[in-house]
Amino acid sequence: MKHIFAMAAALTLASSNAFAEDPIIGNWKTELGDTAAISPCGGGYCITLKSGKHAGKQIGTFHGKDGSYSGKITDPDANKTYDGSLTVSGNALKMKGCVLKVVCESQTWPRM
């Protein structure tokens, strides 16, 4: 019985470490200089502003792994949501949001 509990604990620890190892998790500096935190949520990742005039607002939800993600991103000033993609390369997160996959804008955020 102890062996089963030990295996279950090891599996739980391994699955929780899967998120911890993903390069998207952490604090990022937006183009406006605000802090955006990306953390695991709902089987994917959420972006929440931690500073600035929209502090506390969730502005994105993404799914993916190993540096490549897709989902939704919200412009907090306009309160409009767009299809988006994120890629992480080293300490840089490149974000791209598009309207109808035709008009797109990109930003690059450095890790804090």
Which of residues 7 and 81 earns the better pLDDT score?
Answer: 81
Q: Does domain 2-110 have CATH number 1.10.287?
A: no
The pLDDT of residue 50: 98
Collapsing DSSP states into helix, strand and coil, what is residue 42? coil
Structure tokens at 6: 């030990």
Query: Which H or E run includes 6?
Result: helix 2-20
Least confident of 2-6, 21-25, 68-72: 2-6
Token pair, residue 32, equals 């406006």
Angle at 54 between CA 37 and CA 104, to 5 degrees: 75
